[in-house]
Amino acid sequence: MADETSRRVAVILLGPPGAGKGTQAKLLAARYGVPHISTGDMFRDNAARGTELGVQAKAIMARGELVPDSLVCDMVAARLRQPDAEHGFVLDGFPRTPAQAGWLDAFLENEFIDNPSGSKGLPVVIQISVDYNQLLLRLTGRRSCPAGHIYNIHLQPPRVADVCDVDGLKLVIRNDDREEVIRERLAAYELQTRPLADYYWNKGRLVSVNGDLPVPAVTGQMVRAIEQQGAAAEVKNPAGSF
């Protein structure tokens, strides 16, 4: 069997804001040598650079609402067509509506899958479940450094208050981690994103992990789910792609 860095691995992480999608996505992406694709990070980057997309997304994000599907899907299509995504990816924060999920399935079938009749082409969909009070603690305590390292003042504080352990940069509160915006983001999740679990469940593609456990234990559950799907796919199609 190929080693972990040469395997083709495609993963979709589902879960409410604060479930740990970003943390786990980074770990999985490094483990399997595939890009971590976070639509939230892409919008924040566009907003910081003042692009047209960033200007449109910024006000929507500040209200805790979702950016329209068409804008998100175009951005994701361009990203998935980059050469580094050819052998897989970890999607974090996308899809977020049933319409985005339907679009993604069609996109992957058209552009990614060597063998559309085999289940090998479909990403593993992992839902992270977290207790509601734990979510609030994570979101209200979250501090990020501009380079992307994430801390939590209650659960995982930096060694020096408000300073990144890794690069010494000043930690900031994400614009949308303010309490009133957090409420909106959780409401948007309940209304628009939670139905996605049913979409994938009905297709027999959903795996659920307990996101209340410590970070390494959550990663372990995910790796097992990915390995199991990989093993099943290898039996179905020894020569195919992911």
Considering only residues 29-88, where is the footprint of ligand AMP by CB under 6 A?
39-40, 43, 60-61, 64-67, 72
Has 96 been annotated as catalytic? yes
Minimum separation from the CB atom of position 237 to ligand AMP (A): 30
**Which of 29, 46, 185, 219 forms a contact with ligand AMP (CB under 6 A)?**
185
Q: Is 17 in the site for ligand AMP (CB under 6 A)?
A: yes
CB-facing half-sphere around the CA of 195: CA atoms within 13 A: 10
Phi and psi for 161 in degrees, rounded to 5?
Answer: -55, 130
Burial of 49 from C-beta contacts in 10 A (0-12 / 13-18 / 19+): exposed
Q: Positive or negative, the Cα torsion across 107, 108, 111, 117?
A: negative
Beta-bridge mates of residue 206 = 125
- Asked if 121 is part of the footprint of ligand AMP (rule: CB under 6 A), the reply reads no
Residue 227 vs residues 7, 13, 50, 221, 222: alpha-carbon distances, Å: 10, 15, 40, 10, 9
Considering only 15, 35, 88, 93, the residue that binds ligand AMP (CB under 6 A) is: 93
Residue of 7, 44, 143, 185 marked catalytic: 185
- Shortest reach from residue 214's CB to ligand AMP, in Å: 22
Residues with catalytic function: 21, 96, 142, 174, 185
Binding site for ligand AMP (CB under 6 A): 17, 39-40, 43, 60-61, 64-67, 72, 93-94, 96, 100, 176, 185
